Structures are given as C-alpha cells and as structure tokens.
Structure 1
Amino acid sequence: MNVTTRYVSVPERLGLLGLAAGAAALVWPAFTSATGLGAPCPLYAVTGVPCPFCGLTTASVALVHGDVAGAAAANPGVLALAALAISVVPLLALRAAGIMAAPRPIGGAARRWLGSSVALLAVASWVFQLNRLVLS
C-alpha cells in the first residue's frame, strides 16, 4: 500500500496555530465570564518568572477585538503570528486547488539558521516579558 503524506511547512503550521488561537480568542472572554476559569502561565504562577509566551492569550483576545496596541503591549509576537495566520489561508487554498506546489523540506544549513532564528526570537520575547512583568 502506497501512502502519500502531504508536507506542511513550519510557517504553515504556525499560521494554522494562529488561526486556532484567533478562533479561541473570540470565545475566550465569554468562556471565562461564564465559568470563572482562566489560563494562568504555570511557570509564572509557580516561580514569578514569565515564560516567553506569557501574554499570548491576552494579546490574542486584544487583537481579535481590534486593539493592536494592547496586543503588542501584552506580547508583540502575536502580530507575527497573526500575519502568518492571515497569509496561510490563501496559500493553503492555492495548494489545495493545485495552483501552487507543496513546499519542499529545507536542508541542513537552512534548518539550522531557522532554528537559531526561532531561538533568538524566543529569547527576545522572554527579555520583553521579563521587562514587562518582573523588572518594571
């Protein structure tokens, strides 16, 4: 049996994650109001030290409600995630229609560069969150 799997690139996966976060952010305020439950950062709750992703829920809710400044103040990374989410929809539609070819996996050097870039962005986000929540 010959099974063909479709390769989905990392930016596409992040864009899909962004779409899911946007959808969740639309219903999150109603959910928290109805149940009284929240989603605190476990690391911040236990240690008082924020993780690089602290503020993403707040930023996502602010962004889907049109508060770009509030979203950027909570976690500027949400703006990049939103840009990927917006761009992934037509990209996946073009691929599904056969107009655009599926992405090819990247090689070793490009993969290392991408990994280093993501790690650098995570460190920058962490510094931002430390400044926002601990040092201020």
Structure 2
Amino acid sequence: MREFSVPERVGAFGALVAAGAAVWPMVTASTGAALPCPLRTVTGVPCPACGLTTAAVALVRGQFDTALQANPLIFGLAAVTVAAGPLLALRATGVLEPPSPWSPARRRQMGWVAGLLAAASWLFQLHRLRSSLPY
C-alpha cells in the first residue's frame, strides 16, 4: 500500500468534512446536539477553527457569503478537497506517479504556512467575535 501525500490526506479530510456538513443539520434538528468550541466555552476566546462547522454547512448549502463570514479557511479546504479527487484518480490509474516524501525543509516550510494560516484565522475570529470577548 502506498503512502498518501499531504494534499491527498487534506483532501480526504475535506471530503469527510463535506459529508459531515451535509448530515450535521439533520442531526442537530432532531437531537438538539451542538459542537461548542472548547476553548471559547472555557475562556470566552475563540480558537482559529471557530466557525468552521458553520462555514462547512453553509458551503455545502451553497451559502458562500455565510461561509466566508463564518471562517474563510473553509474555501482553502474546499479547494484542496476538489483538487485531491482527480489527483487520487490519476495516481490510482498510473497516469501520475505516487508522491515522493517531502524533504525536511519542505515540511518545515509547510509547517510555517500552516502556522501563519492558523494565526490569520485566529485574528479573523478575534475581530469577528470582538463584541463577545470577555475583556
């Protein structure tokens, strides 16, 4: 069995998120269940991922403005998810070679990119939810 690339893994995660976002409204409507942010529940401060469930549900429903307002990162996840499908198909049929492992420098670079995206998302959430912050 071959190793999957980071974009393929993120794409698979995005597919799971999309499936969950399609089902989640039915679950909440019938059970009243909710997924509160643990950090925001305990401290009152939103996390970088706050709004992602709302954004995913809105995106699945085609409510792009609502998704953008809840958490813009959902569009990046959606883009990688859409790109990963054909990538997986091309690799499975042998059109593209299996991925080669990333070098330590490339892993470090992507770690910085992920960290900067998380920081930008957190700043966005702090700005978006500023009126409900405890300070």
User: Does TM, scored on the shorter chain, surpass 0.5?
Assistant: yes
Unaligned ranges ≥5, structure 1: none
Are 1:11 and 1:84, in contact at CA under 8 Å, matched by a contact in 2?
yes
Q: Distance in 2 between matches of 1:104 and 1:120?
A: 25
Amino acid at match of 1:118: A
Q: CA RMSD in A?
A: 1.1
Secondary structure at 1:70 match in 2? helix
Amino acid at match of 1:77: L
Amino acid at match of 2:4: V
**Which residue of the other structure, out of 101, 107, 111, is the alignment partner of 1:105?**
101
Q: Which digits, 9 at most, give the CA deviation of each residue in 1:57-116, with x for residues without a partner?
A: 000000000011110110000000000111111110111111111111111221111111
Q: CA deviation at 1:135?
A: 4.9
Residue of structure 2 in register with 1:90 after alignment:
86
Query: After TM superposition, what 4+ stretches of structure 1 lie above 2 angstroms from structure 2?
Result: none
* Alignment length (residue pairs): 132
Q: Distance in 1 between matches of 2:31 and 2:131?
A: 32
- Percent identical pairs in the alignment equals 54
Q: CA deviation at 1:43?
A: 0.7
Matched, 1:16 2:12: yes
**Which residue of the other structure, out of 60, 78, 82, is the alignment partner of 2:74?**
78
Residue of structure 2 in register with 1:62 after alignment:
58
Q: Distance in 2 between matches of 1:38 and 1:54?
A: 13
Residue of structure 1 in register with 2:119 after alignment:
123
Matched, 1:43 2:39: yes
Comparing 57-66 with 12-21, greater Cα deviation is found at: 12-21
Amino acid at match of 2:122: W
Unaligned ranges ≥5, structure 2: none
Report the TM-score, using the length of structure 1 for normalisation: 0.93
